[in-house]
Structure 1
Amino acid sequence: MMRVVKILLGVFLVALISGCGEEKVDGRWYTQAQVERGKTVFTENCASCHGRSAQGRTSNWREPQADGAYPPPPLNGSAHAWHHSFDMLMRTINKGGAAIGGQMPGFEDQLSEDDKEASIAYFQSQWDQQIYDAWLDRGGL
């Protein structure tokens, strides 16, 4: 009996250590733990420009401002972020938005790769399934 308990405990510990217990959210690429971490990262680094729930801060994000730069768009699926692949989203986080007409600073040296991925997980968690599926169909991953 003790041998069976030890085997079951060993299997449980291996599963726990390997992360097998972390399920993807609704079949998406990220876990709930990433979304929760991403909410903190997003709130601390992105929300002042993109809104606390990634809803954006202005309704006219498609129009350049007086200085010619575009305002930060919503990232909640109501704007164009879903048109961009995961790699493009990461590149924008790393390098900033100047190359695509914005003013977003780069976070390459400020955030870990895990934090950047978590921030994407958070704002993608705001996307409905239809938007997420369209992103996948466009080659999002």
Structure 2
Amino acid sequence: MKPRPKHLVAALAVAAVLVALVVGDPFADPPARHALQPDNARVLAQGRRIYEAQCVACHGARLEGQPNWRERGPDGRLPAPPHDASGHTWHHPDELLFRLTKFGVAKVANLKGYVSAMPVYEGILSDEEIVAVLSWIKSQWPAEIRARHDEINQQAQQ
């Protein structure tokens, strides 16, 4: 069997996550419960604190992620992607971002054996804290990216 190109494997993983979102997930809560709040000052203050404590070491102080984030390292894991406008975070609806953060890619996409350096935050952060950190990340995006993300959320709810 021929080895698969790294980009193909990454693309298949993303496709599996999107399929899981469309098909539904038995352990997911209603989407409205996890709507991001990028204009809520209290939520943003909490989210910033959590980001600095839990996320900045890998995703960077400016949301820049790690170098070569699309290429697997020697350990087979992808480096942390950027969460700024240059990354793909804003391409995903709120509910998927929430579920990936809480449950991890392997569980959300049902990818047995998938390894990731990203911690699973179920049992570490509350749902409110996950929404807060994701809200803070979204609040850092330029207005046009936030507007596009809002459109993605609307499409996902149809």
Question: Taking structure 1 as the reference length, what is the TM-score of the superposition?
Answer: 0.71
* Match of residue 90 from structure 1: 98
Q: How is 1:1-141 mapped onto 2 (pairs within 5 angstroms)?
A: 30-58=39-67, 60-98=68-106, 102-139=116-153
- Mapped partners of 2:74, 2:105: distance in 1: 17
Q: Is the 8 A contact 2:38 2:44 kept in 1?
A: no
Q: Is the 8 A contact 2:64 2:83 kept in 1?
A: yes
Structure 1 residue matching 2:153: 3-state secondary structure? coil
Query: RCO greater where, 1 or 2, for CA within 8 Å and sep 6 or more?
Result: 2
Q: C-alpha offsets along residues 30-77 of structure 1, whole Å, 9 cap, x if unaligned?
A: 40211111000011111111112322132x111121222211101122
- Alignment CA distance shift 1:33-1:132 (3 Å): same
Structure 2 residue matching 1:47: 3-state secondary structure? helix
- Larger deviation, residues 61-70 vs 71-80: 61-70
- Alignment CA distance shift 1:115-1:42 (3 Å): same
* Residue segments in structure 2 that go unaligned for 5+ positions in a row: 1-36
Q: Is the 8 A contact 1:75 1:81 kept in 2?
A: yes
Q: Which letter does structure 2 place at the counterpart of 1:121?
A: S
* Residue segments in structure 1 that go unaligned for 5+ positions in a row: 1-27
- Mapped partners of 1:75, 1:97: distance in 2: 16
- Mapped partners of 1:39, 1:109: distance in 2: 20
Measured on the aligned residues, the alpha-carbon RMSD in Å equals 2.0
- Alignment CA distance shift 1:71-1:115 (3 Å): same
Superposition deviation, residue 29 in structure 1: 5.0
Q: Percent identity?
A: 30
